[in-house]
Structure 1
Amino acid sequence: MNLKRKFLLICGGMSSVILLPLALVSTNSTTNDGTENGANIALGKSTEQNDFENGTEFKGSKAVDGDFNTRWATNQSDPSNGAKTLIIDLRSEQKVSSFQLFLERDNITGFKLFASNQKENLDNDANKVFEWIESKQNLRRTIYYGNFTSIKENVRYVMLKVTNWSESGRTIKPNLKWKNISVKELELYTEPMDLQNNIYNVLEKIQDWRPTINADGNKITLPEGIDSSRIEIHADYEQIIDSKGNVFKPLTSKTVELLVIYTDKKGKKHKVKPASNLEVTGKFVQQENKNPKPKVAVEIAEWYSNSNENLKLNKDFKIFVKGKLDEKLNKMFNELKLDFKDIFNKEIEIKSFVDSDTTNGNIVFDLTENKIPGYDEETYEMIIDNDVTIKAANRIGAFWSTRTLLQMLKSSENFELPKGQMKDYPKFKKRGLSFDVGRKAVSMDILKAIVKEMSYYKMNELQVHLSDNLIFLEDYVSDKKEDKDIERSFDAYSGWRLESSKYKEVDGKKVYLHNEDYHYTIDEFKKFMNDSNDLSVNIVPELDFPAHALSITKIWKEFAVKKFGTNANGKRTLVDHIDITNPEAVKLIKEILDDYTNEGKIFDKNSRTTVHIGCDEFFDSPDAYYDFANEMFKYFIDKGIQVRLWGSFTHIRSASKHIKEEYKDKVEMNIWSLGWADPSAMYDEGYKLINTLDSPTYMVPNGTGSRGAYRDFLNNKNIYDHYEANIMGNSNIPSGSPQMLGGMYAIWGDSLLDVRATGVSEYDLFERFKDALPYFATKVWGVGSDGLDSTFEEYRDNVISKIGSAPNSNPSHKIKLEKNSSHYFSYDFKGSNDSEKLLDKKGKFGIMNLSSGMTTSNEEGISSLKVVDKTAKAATNIDLLGFNNRIKFVIKRQKVSDVQEEEVIFSADTPYGQLAIKARQKGSTKFGFSRELMDYTFDYELPYDKWVEIELVSEFDNAKKVAITKLFVNGKETGGKPVGTNGSRLIDKKTGEYKVEHTFTNSSSLFIPLQYIGDGKNTFKGYITNIEHSLNEADKNKFEKSVLENIDFSLKLLKNNNVTASDISIEGIDKDKIMSDIQLISKDDKKLVVKVTLSYKNDPNISIVKNKIIDLENKSDSVVEPLKPKNNKDNKKTKEEPNSTNKETPKDSSDKLLEKTNDDKNTSKIGTYIASAIAAVFGSIALVLGVLLFKNKNK
């Protein structure tokens, strides 16, 4: 054989290119002789070495133990100080004819082999059977094999004599400066090798192979002299080249990276990367002056256009479907309809195609074929010509096409699409997010919003981290470091978010595993999984064992590891570790899992769910850890369930325990730390890998706005410009390998709980997820061999800014104001009857519904809502207000019973904790609010028996992407930054006693809760009125609108039966200057609810809205016949007279409140009189001012 050839094979411990010399042996093998040539007669024999590394067990015996994870290693020295020798005693005289030598690094530049039946003078030239010296034509490598120059029949001793070496490897760890030698294995064989068919010679041929395509252009030409039945081809784009070497021409030329997997006669698989990538010539050549590739959320894999024209879809275009519609497809098209409606406020018709249908200007989905060559389940094709024709072999590909279609339409004008064709598909199978909901509760609504957003960007896997606890258990440990500290550590917060039937009776009470403060029920989580699957997103539940398991150990304390670990200077306890040396503890874990994985349960085999078991950061017994991992792998494999874990097999080492070979290729692994799991080693051992490397993909939100690994946000530019899922540190795993599954980024809650909480809300977390999503999604979907289509700045500013967020989803609780209105709602409690008093005068929320303990009131001449009982509760139908919306109300608080722990003004239903605005926060005397198991207070105490005007707004910081809630009292910002608490208390490190409560201010994001006035449990006592919304921005037309607001108009019915809006007459406005629009909102036998819009004829954009009630039982609200028309002069006089002659009109409630709150606004008595006078006559001069203003404007 040719020993001079250069080997370029894939392995561990690689440089950035990972083209390594014959380093393809699976380092996990324990009995691999690397040949098909018989037994290794050196295996397990006695050895003697002249040197081994001080302080280690790296003796010569490690070179003949059959374990490629061990090695014989020497101390550092220069070759001039003498050769390094290893002698193998075969224990009896035997025939020896050939060898194989495996090195850790390719730094040896010369060695010799000697064989004899005598140990003395073994390295005599007469005993030399092999010699190798590096030359320009014969470069260093990590594997050597060959036949001896002379066959020895009676050999007992064989010596390896390394004569020369360098401090650095040629390709393996070239930056490591360590002048020693390191031998993994030396194997000896009785018979000569068939060098031509030696496995490493075969692999050398494959790695030297430069792939080509046959003359027909449809098949790869495989290397000569190799059994093709033993070869599998794997491409980074299997949609172009499949595992049999079939070629499916792309639209335009594309470079494909190949990996060959060769199965030897013993069934062992060898992974080899050929010497070059393959350029696959496309069907067409794209001209620069033709329509360019459309820019959508993630880059389109293939595009070709020979046109400069656009297709303009019909005004009422239809979607035709060819093929049978099943339940999943019907859901997909319904989702498309809803999304289209949300984006464009238009309905689209979707119908099955018949031959008579005209498709021009319409959209056609061709779903007639479920197997199309060159298509995987995610592939779709879209041809835009006289119509849009979409083809896919699977529902998932069809669904991805709808995302592309929506994004193209959203970025276009007038529903025009560039003519051309695309074929689109991903590079990686798994593209996801790992989301920690164990440490901080996160509602199902936010999880659904995340899935919706992920699907919009073609991300297909959400890994939900369902259980965890405070990692910094040293926060509960005093300087004394005693048993009390271990016991106190159990007080740390933990979360188990999925309903479990597992419990333990403690003091006669059933204590369940799942959290009482918030957990998902089995039914709702199962529905969530199914609904997510409809959006082509798979849910991977993660339940963490045997560490991160405080939820278990605080209930079953008998199974906790009750000692200190080595982290945090030895002050972090291990009570969140399960003692897996105890068989009963492992049995408990299985029982917990059985609740989810047994037949018929939520994660059983038929659910096709991947289950993640954590299995990381375990700092107790390594032997027990490997036994546990093996047992867990068997548990899931036997049940037919895919298992996944966080890679930890590099950091956690055992001298005697290993993962069983038969499990490795059945396990999926998140690579999260280069130190905890070396990616190359894990790849070599056969695990399936998901790049979730902490740097750059770990986010630990804290509300500071920082960017980078373990910070508040990811560094999106770094992700977009540099991230590649298959590159982890110096490991470049072949992207086409079936083991290289894809990539994830992660959001961790280390700074969201207990004494580390920063106040970050679940929506703040959503913002951080969404912030990184487009850039990460682009890279894991794939950018092709031609690189990114846009720079980071172009993509951010010109693509994402247009495409925006997923449609039909509103986790930010954005509101839509009624046309012509600047107020979402307004309750002034004025009116002639209770219905009118409780009517929302500005919005769409109708009549407030009061419980007992609440009445309308006009005490002191002020229209208000009176609250007398803490069980009172009024339903407004408003729900929540998103950021930058201002709520204003006027309140007079009265004293409540001493036993009432808090005083709630407004509240809303919430999945967990409390969502409320409070006149008095619990545990305090001050004004505040609560949300998500956190309580906030302002440095302000609401007085008793005094009318006060309160304003609240949660202002969003666009840089930090959190909101700070602000309080205004009588027009002045008051109370400072709200301070949050979560019930956690810091300990005195000297005494170990709990002391001050933990506080935080980084985020006080609040969706203002207005579903109810009060909460029915601890409602405030007193009066409230003028509850009104406004946008948190200056209104430049405030004065002009106030003129309209003060017009005192009335409504009359022209008939009493079958009333429509046209049957309602408005009186009291100057119809020459003011326009009115009347809409009938609702009606019943007793009343009509009417919306009236008033605007100026000279400037219709300035308008106000008022809702009114017409009492059908009040005859004064109806007229028998329409009024006769009058001339303009008479009409004007008639409209103005009521206000101008009413000189003794009583003050209304707003006038009273102006007086009541006057002192707090520091208004002088003179100012009060002037203000009152203005209010009394304002109705008479309002229209005059308005008219003069618009005359001046028009000039």
Structure 2
Amino acid sequence: MKKIVLTLLLLCPALVWAQNVKPFVIPELQKWQGGKGEFLMTSSSAITYDNRALKDVAEQFAADVKEMFAVTVVVREGKPKTGDFALALNKKSTGNREAYTINIGRNVSVAANEPMGAYWATRTLLQIMEQSANRAIPCGAVEDYPAYPLRGFMLDVGRKFFTLDYLYDVVKMMSYYKMNTFQVHLNDNGFKEFFEGDWAKTPSGFRLESTTYPGLASKDGHYTKAAFRQFQLDALAYGVTVIPEIDAPAHTLAFSHYDPELGSVEYGADHLDLFNEKSYKFMDGLFKEYLEGENPVFVGDYVHIGTDEYSNRDKAVVEKFRYFTDRYIKYVESFGKKAALWGALTHAQGDTPVKVEDVLMGCWYNGYAEPRTMIELGYDVISVPDGMVYIVPVAGYYYDYLNTKHLYEEWTPAVIGKEVFEEGHPKIRGGMFAVWNDHAGNGITFQDVQHRLFPAIQTLALKMWDGKNVSVPYEEFDAKRLALSEAPDVNILALPKTKGEILNIAKPQPSVTPAIAEIGWDYKVDFDILLTEKPVFGTVLFESPATKLYVADRQDGKLAFERDGYTVRFPYSLPVGRKVHLTIEGTAKETKLVVDGKEVANLDIITPYKKSLERGGMTMKFVRTLIFPLTLSKEFRGEVTNLRVLTQE
């Protein structure tokens, strides 16, 4: 610390003992020594690097500065001048590979063991600048490093399809908050109890193109092999490793929909028949397709083989399950990869050996995999306790929104269910949380998921990076986090930078996108509208890349909106030849329509939407939220005037 203070005296000559307080960033900085004064980026500031390995980091930093602050910064190799950002690699790469230091004075000097650390340093600087009106960075010295090497998130794309554009945005958001592992759960299925108890009617998804098994990939949305491979490569540039997951031998209805002979008669069509050699031949072919060759579809070190929630009804099936698990650990390894899997070996205790060394296990429920036992066996584990970090949107079990206060104050990756380990346990690689879309077809959109995901990422990114080394009270954290964006070039929640009246346009022009393309919750949009002729069913009124608001929907001519494949209708049709004043108010729970001052509809969450007596009266709810699109469609025939957009103060 004496060395840090001496450095500050050299960099900030005006230093006195009244020091700058630690800047608020997420994750919290591990160490800070405050100086006096501030660094201001100017039009002549540059970003320099002393090693070609840092060129990409410098260029990404410059691109983000331009995106966030509309400032163009030159990038060059060489020594910095006063007012520059300087990126450097330490001469000796020792210690934590993600560690970095920042000294802020006449320059902003970043030093890191590896390029990854330098990249994380630029995330810190962007967050500091984002919270200042003049992009000021307080003078001081930072020493920062993660407590856990694996800081992850899992998204279930099997039950609900998410576009690659959204997955890219998730990567950018994770990266902005220094999370580095994104598990993509590629296949799964709904509960048959919501679909007349009929497996044939129950939706399932496998989201990756397969040429080995043409027709296996879901028609309602999947990724081509080339695009998914490129996505993984691009994610690495943001410091995020993608772990693709093919879940088997349970959660496999998509496979038995493809070939009914693969499904188990005894345990259900969503289980592979482990006593049928055809199941193994099928899985061999599927993994091989994505793992073979010099440039395999699955890019990273790890491939997740699933292995959760199979029956343990009798010894025979337990031994088959253990055989399956061991077989695919070794099969993945035969292609030069490492295997990750869900913990199930307490649930499936038996005699058949299962490989342990260099296998990564997600400990999600202690009844399925007792973490102390798994660690004693030798597994590397990820802390994914379902009772703490599982989001299942509007399902009525687990969490709709995570209890971020409890997690902030009580959880670190050393807490796995009721088991609490010492911080930094060498076999606990880190933590992860998950979004499961169990209730397939419940109206949830990617924006609804994002509303649940964003506060969780901000909170858990901090706890995975800092462990117990957190000094900011939760209430302060929860207030200050709102000043930070989702990520550079990411605003899925469509939130403006200011509150109150956002737009006031006397006469919107067709196909002209206003200052904002859409408005997120909580908002009020009102406007006058006159239909000059009877609209064709399916005529769009307002639109954005994600949403259409119909002046007359395709089915019966009602005012309606469509987003993420779902159409929601208001019980109202616009008159022809008479001007009316419409007000639409939206929150993350409901969408309200007011016509000429009278409330016509309040489209809240329908419950129950579907009911299952077989699952103890479980209900499926249906979500009818709207992030409002603001580009007037050229399809519309009539007049829209006096468009106002307001957000809650």
- The corresponding residue for 2:33 is 304
- The corresponding residue for 1:336 is 61
- The corresponding residue for 1:466 is 186
Task: State the Cα distance separating 1:667 from its structure 2 match.
Answer: 1.0
- Counterpart secondary structure, 2:490: coil
Task: State the Cα distance separating 1:346 from its structure 2 match.
Answer: 2.4
Work out which of the residue numbers 346, 354, 363 in structure 2 matches 1:671: 363
Work out which of the residue numbers 531, 548, 569 in structure 2 matches 1:891: 531
The alignment covers a number of residue pairs equal to 627
Counterpart CA distance in 1 for 2:470 and 2:250 is 41
Output one character per residue of 1:1023-1058: Cα deviation in whole Å (capped at 9) or x when no partner: 4222563213699xxxxxxxxxxxxxxxxxxxxxxx
CA spacing shift, 1:955–1:720, aligned 2, 3 Å? same
Counterpart CA distance in 2 for 1:403 and 1:739 is 28
Task: State the Cα distance separating 1:429 from its structure 2 match.
Answer: 0.7
Verify the 8 A CA contact 1:310 1:416 in the aligned structure 2: no
Verify the 8 A CA contact 2:485 2:491 in the aligned structure 1: no
Task: State the Cα distance separating 1:315 from its structure 2 match.
Answer: 3.4
Higher relative contact order (CA 8 A, sep 6+): 2
Alignment of 1:1150-1161 (within 5 A): none
Counterpart CA distance in 2 for 1:311 and 1:918 is 51
Counterpart CA distance in 2 for 1:973 and 1:657 is 65
Task: State the Cα distance separating 1:825 from its structure 2 match.
Answer: 7.8
CA spacing shift, 1:321–1:745, aligned 2, 3 Å? same
Q: Does 1:365 align with 2:92?
A: no
Counterpart CA distance in 2 for 1:299 and 1:559 is 49
Verify the 8 A CA contact 1:299 1:778 in the aligned structure 2: yes
Task: State the Cα distance separating 1:301 from its structure 2 match.
Answer: 2.1
Q: In the alignment, residue 803 of structure 1 is paired with which amino acid? A: L
Verify the 8 A CA contact 1:342 1:807 in the aligned structure 2: yes
Output one character per residue of 1:266-306: Cα deviation in whole Å (capped at 9) or x when no partner: xxxxxxxxxxxxxxxxxxxxx9964443332112223335x
Task: State the Cα distance separating 1:935 from its structure 2 match.
Answer: 1.9
- Counterpart secondary structure, 1:935: strand
Task: State the Cα distance separating 1:549 from its structure 2 match.
Answer: 0.8
Q: Does 1:496 align with 2:206?
A: yes
Alignment of 1:1146-1185 (within 5 A): none
- The corresponding residue for 1:313 is 40
Q: In the alignment, residue 576 of structure 1 is paired with which amino acid? A: D
Counterpart CA distance in 2 for 1:601 and 1:824 is 52
- The corresponding residue for 1:940 is 572
Q: Percent identity?
A: 27
Q: In the alignment, residue 495 of structure 1 is paired with which amino acid? A: G
Q: Does 1:691 align with 2:383?
A: yes
Task: State the Cα distance separating 1:640 from its structure 2 match.
Answer: 1.0
Work out which of the residue numbers 230, 245, 249 in structure 2 matches 1:542: 245
Task: State the Cα distance separating 1:449 from its structure 2 match.
Answer: 2.0
CA spacing shift, 1:452–1:895, aligned 2, 3 Å? closer
Q: Does 1:749 align with 2:437?
A: yes
- The corresponding residue for 2:625 is 1004
Alignment of 1:529-568 (within 5 A): 529-563=232-266, 565=267
- Counterpart secondary structure, 2:639: strand
- The corresponding residue for 2:406 is 718
Verify the 8 A CA contact 1:891 1:949 in the aligned structure 2: no
- Counterpart secondary structure, 2:372: helix
Q: Does 1:637 align with 2:339?
A: no
Counterpart CA distance in 2 for 1:585 and 1:924 is 47
Counterpart CA distance in 2 for 1:627 and 1:642 is 18
Counterpart CA distance in 1 for 2:297 and 2:629 is 37
- The corresponding residue for 2:306 is 614
- Counterpart secondary structure, 1:383: strand
- The corresponding residue for 1:240 is none
Verify the 8 A CA contact 2:535 2:552 in the aligned structure 1: no
CA spacing shift, 1:716–1:895, aligned 2, 3 Å? closer
Q: In the alignment, residue 584 of structure 2 is paired with which amino acid? A: V
Q: Does 1:444 align with 2:164?
A: yes
Task: State the Cα distance separating 1:684 from its structure 2 match.
Answer: 0.6
Alignment of 1:923-1002 (within 5 A): 923-924=555-556, 926-943=558-575, 945-949=576-580, 951=582, 953-956=584-587, 962-977=588-603, 1002=623
Work out which of the residue numbers 489, 492, 499 in structure 2 matches 1:808: 489
Verify the 8 A CA contact 1:539 1:609 in the aligned structure 2: no
- The corresponding residue for 2:472 is 790
CA spacing shift, 1:475–1:320, aligned 2, 3 Å? closer
TM-score, length-normalised on structure 1? 0.49
- Counterpart secondary structure, 2:280: helix
CA spacing shift, 1:625–1:969, aligned 2, 3 Å? same
Counterpart CA distance in 2 for 1:336 and 1:536 is 13
Output one character per residue of 1:399-424: Cα deviation in whole Å (capped at 9) or x when no partner: 00001112223345645444332221
Counterpart CA distance in 1 for 2:49 and 2:228 is 34
Counterpart CA distance in 1 for 2:17 and 2:200 is 66
Q: In the alignment, residue 139 of structure 2 is paired with which amino acid? A: K
CA spacing shift, 1:637–1:1013, aligned 2, 3 Å? same
- The corresponding residue for 1:425 is 145
Gaps of 5+ in 2: 6-15
Output one character per residue of 1:606-637: Cα deviation in whole Å (capped at 9) or x when no partner: x3342112110011621211111111011011
Counterpart CA distance in 2 for 1:298 and 1:1034 is 28
Task: State the Cα distance separating 1:699 from its structure 2 match.
Answer: 1.2
- Counterpart secondary structure, 2:258: coil
Verify the 8 A CA contact 1:954 1:963 in the aligned structure 2: no
Alignment of 1:677-1076 (within 5 A): 677-702=369-394, 710-751=398-439, 753-754=440-441, 757=442, 759-783=443-467, 787-797=469-479, 799-814=480-495, 822-823=503-504, 826-827=507-508, 880-883=518-521, 884=523, 886=525, 888=527, 889-894=529-534, 902-906=537-541, 915-924=547-556, 926-943=558-575, 945-949=576-580, 951=582, 953-956=584-587, 962-977=588-603, 1002-1008=623-629, 1010=631, 1012-1014=633-635, 1023-1026=637-640, 1029-1032=643-646
Structural RMSD (CA):
3.5
Q: In the alignment, residue 494 of structure 2 is paired with which amino acid? A: H
- Counterpart secondary structure, 1:947: coil
Gaps of 5+ in 1: 1-247, 253-286, 478-484, 505-511, 566-573, 829-837, 846-877, 897-901, 957-961, 990-997, 1015-1019, 1036-1195
Work out which of the residue numbers 475, 491, 501 in structure 1 matches 2:194: 475
- The corresponding residue for 2:286 is 592
Work out which of the residue numbers 273, 276, 285 in structure 2 matches 1:582: 276
Counterpart CA distance in 2 for 1:671 and 1:618 is 15
CA spacing shift, 1:910–1:638, aligned 2, 3 Å? same
Task: State the Cα distance separating 1:1001 from its structure 2 match.
Answer: 5.0
- The corresponding residue for 1:46 is none
Output one character per residue of 1:967-1024: Cα deviation in whole Å (capped at 9) or x when no partner: 3434533244278899x987999xxxxxxxx99554422342747444xxxxx8xx42
Counterpart CA distance in 2 for 1:666 and 1:561 is 31
TM-score, length-normalised on structure 2? 0.87
Task: State the Cα distance separating 1:581 from its structure 2 match.
Answer: 1.3
Verify the 8 A CA contact 1:936 1:981 in the aligned structure 2: no
Counterpart CA distance in 2 for 1:384 and 1:969 is 56
CA spacing shift, 1:979–1:413, aligned 2, 3 Å? closer
Verify the 8 A CA contact 1:881 1:1008 in the aligned structure 2: yes
Task: State the Cα distance separating 1:795 from its structure 2 match.
Answer: 1.8
Counterpart CA distance in 1 for 2:125 and 2:67 is 15
CA spacing shift, 1:665–1:978, aligned 2, 3 Å? same
- Counterpart secondary structure, 1:533: helix
Output one character per residue of 1:869-897: Cα deviation in whole Å (capped at 9) or x when no partner: xxxxxxxxx9655452626332245386x
Counterpart CA distance in 2 for 1:291 and 1:825 is 47
Output one character per residue of 1:85-115: Cα deviation in whole Å (capped at 9) or x when no partner: xxxxxxxxxxxxxxxxxxxxxxxxxxxxxxx
Task: State the Cα distance separating 1:372 from its structure 2 match.
Answer: 2.5
Task: State the Cα distance separating 1:741 from its structure 2 match.
Answer: 0.6
- Counterpart secondary structure, 1:432: strand
Q: In the alignment, residue 742 of structure 1 is paired with which amino acid? A: G
Output one character per residue of 1:524-568: Cα deviation in whole Å (capped at 9) or x when no partner: 2223222221111111111111110111111210111123x5xxx
- The corresponding residue for 2:73 is 348
Verify the 8 A CA contact 1:448 1:528 in the aligned structure 2: yes
CA spacing shift, 1:821–1:392, aligned 2, 3 Å? closer
Task: State the Cα distance separating 1:802 from its structure 2 match.
Answer: 3.6
Q: In the alignment, residue 625 of structure 2 is paired with which amino acid? A: S
